[in-house]
């Protein structure tokens, strides 16, 4: 069959006529194939011509228990036949009630109030507004700023983008954004030679302390991605930073916002990344894996103290104001509950430890590769940093788009790998098998060989 008569090509042509895709220069699709997926099954995606792709990145980090997971699909269908949606102002329903109960039960201690939204960026907007409004309600309207880490990513709506520091997404829109105070990331890759991750974290905490001494009076919160800065290039850091951050936030009276949108639900080896530092944030933002990758939904968990600052007679004008039409959508809540039930019924985290160890063993040889500066891993997230020069860690010129070559190689060889710049990473669904990990790594290594040539 020639390409022009394939079902893939026919669907791609129709797509490109009217659709506009995210994170894409649409012109690229004059040469890069658009891949129409018709079916999903476990860790696999199947295109319209019947070709299969191993989803090495969980479809943008959302999928946990496989595509079209039968158990989650059945729960969704049953809910759809019962109650698809209802206004969430003044009305409620069991899926949302149960979801709030379950999230409070499984999250770090002290988080006992749940605000729902539709996606990760919306959760960040909620957390930023809630933190600001908390201080306002306490008579501290002078607190209007946020501290974020260099290299951070918290989403792409204007508020979330404001506290993000990935140039690709931010630079163009900078004139529209709030100006955060940037603290240097504890990223272990950016340490001094010979410095351990724990020492880097300690040094960065010292720098954060200086910023807080100067800015705490005007600062609402410090926002971080616990343990792994994902979109910023899967940069990882020592949990000691989070322990120190909790102490600093208490000392300087600013909130600690933990954005676990990507790292939550077992990605880092514990159910929530904050557990590894034994800390509870003031706000915990969740999305992505929350619904097992089925539906958009997010949640912001916060404390009794925060909730209390808004709780007053109507006339006091202290109520939190943020609403989306689909807040608390019962289909999404039901699907989230089924996802959390899988964590209860199956030894997910234990099993992931075996998968993570297997992935680590398979990636280890890449450490000696002349164009690999770093191989790092945190639970079910692993990343390989490609560079032009290993000794100096000089990156490839961005215009060479080396990572894109790995992506294209992957597509040709049945794997969905979508490097962030020149960082090739692995974040597979938890239903992946060790054989599938082997396949994924083999394709990635061959793709890397191709990408670093010439
Ligand atoms: C993906 C992501 C977001 C934004 O979530 P969306 O649902 O894509 O808006 C925010 N923070 C982190 C850490 C993310 O990885």
pLDDT of amino acid 54: 98
Dihedral over alpha carbons 169, 174, 175, 180 (to 10 degrees): 140
Q: Which residue puts its alpha carbon closest to atom 12 of ligand 1?
A: 154
pLDDT of amino acid 191: 95
CATH 3.90.1150.10 domain locations along the chain = 6-68+348-451
For 45-162, where are the alpha helices, taking DSSP H only? 58-61, 70-80, 94-106, 120-137, 158-162
Query: What mean pLDDT comes out for the span 298-323?
Result: 98
Question: Do the Cβ atoms of 110 and 303 come closer than 8 Å?
Answer: yes
Pick the atom of ligand 1 nearest to 288's CA. 7
Q: How far apart, in whole angstroms, are the C-alpha atoms of residue 70 and residue 338?
A: 11
> Taking the model in full, what pTM does it have?
0.98
What confidence category does residue 243 fall into, taking pLDDT thresholds of 50, 70 and 90? very high
- What would the pLDDT profile of 382-422 be if each residue is shown by its tens digit? 999 999 999 999 999 999 999 999 999 999 999 999 999 99
Closest CA to 398 of 233, 153, 235: 233
What confidence category does residue 2 fall into, taking pLDDT thresholds of 50, 70 and 90? low
For residue 9, report the distance from its CA to the centre of ligand 1, in Å: 31
Pick the atom of ligand 1 nearest to 156's CA. 9
- What would the pLDDT profile of 139-188 be if each residue is shown by its tens digit? 999 999 999 999 999 999 999 999 999 999 999 999 999 999 999 999 99
For residue 370, report the distance from its CA to the centre of ligand 1, in Å: 33
Q: DSSP secondary-structure letter at 108?
A: P
Query: What mean pLDDT comes out for the span 186-212?
Result: 98
Spatial strand order of the sheet with 111-117 comes to 111-117, 298-303, 283-286, 255-259, 219-224, 145-149, 181-183
Q: How far apart, in whole angstroms, are the C-alpha atoms of residue 18 and residue 259?
A: 34
- What would the pLDDT profile of 321-371 be if each residue is shown by its tens digit? 999 999 999 999 999 999 999 999 999 999 999 999 999 999 999 999 999
**Phi and psi angles of residue 422, each rounded to the nearest 5 degrees, phi first:** -105, 20
Report the chain's mean pLDDT, rounded to a whole number.
97
Class of domain 73-345: alpha beta
pLDDT of amino acid 4: 55
Q: Enumerate residues 6+ apart whose C-beta is below 8 A from 241.
A: 186, 201, 204, 205, 277
Query: What mean pLDDT comes out for the span 288-316?
Result: 98
The CA-based angle 201-203-206, given to 5 degrees, is 110
The answer on pLDDT for 13 being more than 90 is yes
Q: How far apart, in whole angstroms, are the C-alpha atoms of residue 346 and residue 328?
A: 26
Query: Residues with Cβ within 6 A of ligand 1?
Result: 119-121, 124, 153-155, 225, 230-231, 259, 261-262, 287
pLDDT of amino acid 5: 73
pLDDT of amino acid 182: 98
Q: Which residue puts its alpha carbon closest to atom 6 of ligand 1?
A: 120
The answer on pLDDT for 62 being more than 90 is yes
- What would the pLDDT profile of 366-393 be if each residue is shown by its tens digit? 999 999 999 999 999 999 999 999 999 9
Query: What mean pLDDT comes out for the span 55-80?
Result: 98
Taking domain 6-68+348-451, whether its CATH number is 3.40.250.10 is answered by no
Sign, CA dihedral 416-418-424-426, equals: negative
The answer on pLDDT for 26 being more than 60 is yes
Question: Do the Cβ atoms of 83 and 266 come closer than 8 Å?
Answer: no
Q: How far apart, in whole angstroms, are the C-alpha atoms of residue 191 and residue 293?
A: 34
User: 5-9, 10-14, 429-433: lowest mean pLDDT where?
Assistant: 5-9
Pairing of strands 381-386, 423-426: antiparallel
**CA 333: distance to chain centroid?**
19
Strand ranges for 238-323 from DSSP E: 255-259, 283-286, 298-303
Q: How far apart, in whole angstroms, are the C-alpha atoms of residue 242 and residue 53?
A: 37
- What would the pLDDT profile of 94-127 be if each residue is shown by its tens digit? 999 999 999 999 999 999 999 999 999 999 999 9
The answer on pLDDT for 3 being more than 70 is no
Burial 224-249 (b: 16+ CB within 10 A, else e): bbbbbbbbbbbbbbbbbbbbbbbebb
Pick the atom of ligand 1 nearest to 60's CA. 1
For residue 250, report the distance from its CA to the centre of ligand 1, in Å: 26
Intra-chain end-to-end CA distance of the chain, in Å = 33
Question: Do the Cβ atoms of 414 and 51 come closer than 8 Å?
Answer: yes
For residue 91, report the distance from its CA to the centre of ligand 1, in Å: 28
Which two three-digit tokens encode residue 275? Answer: 């557990």
Query: What mean pLDDT comes out for the span 55-71?
Result: 98
> Of the residues 120, 228, 230, 378, which should be mutated to test ligand 1's pocket, given the most ligand atoms within 8 Å of the CB?
120
For residue 59, report the distance from its CA to the centre of ligand 1, in Å: 13
For 163-226, where are the alpha helices, taking DSSP H only? 167-170, 197-215
For residue 61, report the distance from its CA to the centre of ligand 1, in Å: 9
> Of the residues 154, 232, 274, which should be mutated to test ligand 1's pocket, given the most ligand atoms within 8 Å of the CB?
154
CATH 3.40.640.10 domain locations along the chain = 73-345
For 81-140, where are the alpha helices, taking DSSP H only? 94-106, 120-137
> Of the residues 153, 224, 227, 300, which should be mutated to test ligand 1's pocket, given the most ligand atoms within 8 Å of the CB?
153
3-state secondary structure of 42: strand
The answer on pLDDT for 1 being more than 80 is no
Question: Do the Cβ atoms of 151 and 235 come closer than 8 Å?
Answer: yes
Burial 162-195 (b: 16+ CB within 10 A, else e): bbbbbeebbeeeeeeeeebbebebbbbbbbeeee
Pick the atom of ligand 1 nearest to 225's CA. 13
Pick the atom of ligand 1 nearest to 260's CA. 13
Q: Rg of the chain's alpha carbons, rounded to an integer?
A: 22
Q: Which residue puts its alpha carbon closest to atom 11 of ligand 1?
A: 154
3-state secondary structure of 186: coil
For residue 66, report the distance from its CA to the centre of ligand 1, in Å: 20
């Amino acid at each position: 069959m020639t390409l022009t008569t394939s079902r893939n090509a026919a669907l791609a042509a129709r797509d490109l006529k009217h659709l506009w895709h995210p994170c894409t220069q649409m012109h690229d699709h004059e040469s890069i194939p658009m891949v129409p997926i018709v079916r999903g099954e476990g860790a696999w995606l199947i295109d319209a011509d019947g070709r299969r792709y191993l989803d090495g990145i969980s479809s943008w980090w959302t999928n946990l228990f496989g595509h079209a997971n039968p158990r989650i699909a059945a729960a969704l269908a049953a809910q759809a036949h019962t109650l698809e949606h209802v206004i969430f102002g003044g009305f409620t329903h069991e899926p949302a009630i149960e979801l709030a109960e379950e999230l409070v039960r499984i999250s770090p201690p002290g988080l006992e109030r749940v605000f729902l939204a539709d996606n990760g960026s919306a959760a960040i907007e909620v957390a930023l507004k809630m933190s600001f409004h908390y201080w306002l309600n306490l008579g501290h309207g002078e607190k209007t700023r946020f501290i974020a880490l260099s290299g951070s990513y918290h989403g792409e709506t204007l508020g979330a983008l404001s506290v993000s520091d990935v140039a690709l997404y931010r630079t163009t829109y900078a004139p529209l954004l709030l100006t955060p105070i940037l603290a240097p990331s504890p990223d272990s890759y950016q340490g001094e030679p010979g410095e351990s991750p724990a020492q880097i974290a300690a040094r960065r905490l010292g720098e954060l302390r200086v910023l807080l001494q100067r800015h705490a009076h005007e600062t609402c919160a410090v926002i971080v991605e616990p343990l792994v800065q994902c979109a910023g290039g899967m940069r990882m850091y020592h949990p000691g930073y989070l322990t120190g951050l909790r102490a600093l936030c208490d000392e300087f009276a600013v909130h600690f916002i933990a954005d676990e949108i990507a790292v939550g639900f077992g990605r880092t080896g514990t159910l929530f990344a904050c557990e590894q530092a034994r800390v509870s944030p003031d706000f915990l933002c969740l999305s992505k894996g929350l619904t097992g990758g089925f539906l958009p939904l997010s949640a912001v968990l916060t404390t009794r103290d925060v909730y209390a600052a808004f709780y007053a007679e109507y006339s006091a004008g202290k109520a939190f104001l943020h609403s989306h039409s689909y807040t608390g959508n019962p289909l999404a809540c039901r699907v989230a509950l089924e996802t959390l039930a899988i964590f209860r019924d199956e030894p997910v985290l234990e099993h992931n430890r075996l998968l993570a160890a297997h992935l680590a063993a398979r990636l280890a040889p890449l450490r000696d590769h002349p164009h690999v500066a770093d191989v790092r891993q945190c639970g079910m997230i692993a990343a390989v940093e490609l560079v032009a020069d290993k000794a100096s860690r000089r990156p490839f010129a961005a215009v060479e788009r080396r990572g894109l070559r790995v992506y294209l190689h992957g597509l040709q060889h049945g794997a969905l790998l979508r490097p962030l710049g020149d960082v090739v990473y692995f974040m597979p669904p938890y239903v992946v098998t060790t054989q599938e990990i082997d396949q994924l790594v083999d394709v990635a290594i061959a793709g890397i060989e191709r990408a670093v040539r010439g």
